[in-house]
Structure 1
Amino acid sequence: MKKETILQMISGLIAALFFYASFSKLLDYDKSLWEMKNQIFPPAMAWLLTWLIPFLEILLMCTLLFPKTRKKSIVGFIDYANHIHFIHRHCDDGHIWPDTL
């Protein structure tokens, strides 16, 4: 397989992951807000982050679909995954990450 084909497949899978995660947070907004209020940052930030995180996931998902921005988006995905791993405390991620992380 060509390197570009593998990169397209990985990008498509990550984009599908972000699609599911972001829209599941937006569709169940009350649960997402409640879970965001139980995180390590101040509860006053919960409302902002409940909207900001799905927006960033959708933005990252869209940039994964274009060849010019694909490589930077994959780096962004790795950075995002590292941040989620360090602040994850039963946060609503659409049940994509196991609770044992």
Structure 2
Amino acid sequence: MKTKALFLEIVCFLFILLFLYTAFSKLADFETFRVQLGRSPLVTDISGLVAWGVPALEILLAGLLMFGKTRKVGLYGSYTLMVIFTAYITAILNFSDVIPCSCGGVIAKLSWWDHFVLNIFFTSAAAIAALVYPATIPKHQRQ
């Protein structure tokens, strides 16, 4: 397998793993997730919508990344979502006295700096993967 193709497979796999893990962690403890979002000064008014929307979007993006025909859209969506998450963390850290963590599972145990670094890593990986993703996919690689 060529280096570029291997890189794309690894990035997509990592995003699928990340998004499914975090989505199902949030849904498994939905009430805690919803309450923590309600404490965030940035999304208080729309916390109910965000509480359902974020896991749903993470599951959708994981699904898009699984198939060759939708992978590029999934990569752009993953990049966009990671930019939003990173901007949210930056805003919370710089402009909020209250710093609630609404992440799911083991990721909730990370420090805010660790969250930021993880987000920068995934944002960069998605950007690079979307840019190097081939304009056309050979027929034998389509799913």
TM-score by length of 2: 0.63
Does 85-94 or 22-31 show the bigger shift?
85-94
Partner of 1:13: 14
For the residues of structure 1 that align with 2:70 and 2:112, how far apart are their CA atoms? 31
Q: Percent same amino acid among aligned pairs?
A: 30
Equivalent in 96, 103, 124 of residue 93 of structure 1? 103
> What are the residue-to-residue correspondences of 1:1-101 with 2, within 5 Å?
1-2=1-2, 3-41=4-42, 43-88=44-89, 89=92, 90-94=100-104, 95=107, 98-100=111-113, 101=116
Whether the 8 Å CA contact 2:16–2:65 is kept in 1: the answer is: yes
Residue segments in structure 1 that go unaligned for 5+ positions in a row: none
Partner SS, residue 112 of structure 2: coil
What one-letter code is carried by the residue in structure 2 that aligns with 1:52?
A: G
Count of paired positions = 101
> In 2, distance between residues paired with 1:65 and 1:7?
11
| Cα 1:62–1:98 shift into 2, 3 Å | farther
Q: Which has the higher contact order (CA 8 A, sep 6+)?
A: 1
Match of 1:41, SS state, is coil
Distance 1:71 1:98 in 2: 31
SS in 1 for 2:21: helix
Structure 2 residue runs without a partner (length 5+): 93-99, 117-143
Shift of 1:9: 1.9
